[in-house]
A = this chain, B = another copy of it.
Amino acid sequence: LILLACEPPSKEPVTSTPEEKPSLPSWQEGSSKSSILDFVAKTTDPQNPDFIPEAERIAVFDNDGTLWGEQPFYYQLAYAIDYVKKEGPNHPEWGKSPVLKSAMEGDLKGILSKGEHGIIEVVMASHSGMTEDQFKSNVKEWLNSSKHPETGRPYNQMIYQPMLELLEYLRANGYKTFIVSGGGIDFLRVWAEEAYGIPPYQVMGSSIKAKYEEVDGEMQIVKIPELNFIDDKAGKPVGIHQQIGMKPVIAVGNSDGDFEMIQYATEAGGPRLGIYIHHTDSVREYAYDSLSSIGNLKRGLIEAPTRGWVVVDMAKDWSTIYPN
């Protein structure tokens, strides 16, 4: 990781020149790459019995740990903590909460000691009580001013080059690409289009509620501190049903939180492709699976072979991790 820390970040998620058809240059030859190429070839060939009409070519991707990193802890949580630290002086009431006090002191362990409730409290404080426009500009400002603690890269450059190539390759083959994240939908939408070429309306995630009301004499959308939807585990198929309204043909994730999504896609009948990204690279990225509290992957690893799901071995299958 140290080696990568000094590389200048690039703003170019696109890997192919306009003249050439996108392919998967950062994917090593092997069964993962060939499974993907074969699947796309057969489902886009009108002569093949497994052909899928373009209108039905839906591909869904988890985000944290699938399209970008999630270690040493979720980047959205880093945003939330930084926000509470910065805005703490304007919110004396936050001092009464042990969790928010921990956040203001940058004490991650203090937050995590309260489990999921601790995380939710910090997220609520940093994601609600403001208009949609204010939140958007807060996130943009943070992305421009903060860096990953270990690589020194801006967080929106902690995206995986081979996955950028996969997204682009699928779109070039008539697939619509969607994000179905356990993370916050509004946070993601700020930067997903620039990073991945995925527009806001193809981004799904967990959400809090919102109201349309007058703020400073203008009618605006205000984000309120109440959970609306948790887009994780069995919530992922439900979210796909509610927001996409079609069963995906391709589903890609990295943890057991994606199991139901990949199951929903691959059990739908017809040609289907399920993919797990397995974090096996302790040198260039991180190695973790069944014992990790972040991105825990156990059931998926056990059942993938019998279910015919591809398990991508990051260390072996990817020649690069981040964009140059």
Contact = CB atoms under 8 A, between A and B. Distances in A.
Interface of A: 55, 58, 132, 176, 178, 185-186, 189, 193, 199-203, 207, 210-213, 218-219, 221, 228, 234, 237-238, 241-246, 260, 263-264, 267
Given A242-B207, A245-B200, A237 B260 contact: no
Given A200-B244, A246-B201, A210 B186 contact: no
Contacts of A242: 185, 207, 210, 228
Could you say how many copies of this chain the assembly holds? 2
A211 B185 contact: no
A268 to B, nearest CB: 9
Given A210-B242, A234-B212, A264 B219 contact: yes
Nearest to A209: B238
Nearest to A237: B212
Contacts of A228: 242
Contacts of A243: 201, 243
A55 B221 contact: no
Given A241-B221, A242-B207, A242-B228, A201 B199 contact: no
Nearest to A223: B241
Contacts of A212: 234, 237-238, 260, 264
A185 B202 CA distance: 17
Best-surrounded residue of A178, A201, A228 (most CB of chain B within 10 A):
A201
Given A201-B202, A219-B260, A219-B264, A189 B241 contact: no
Contact of A241 (B132, B199, B218): B132
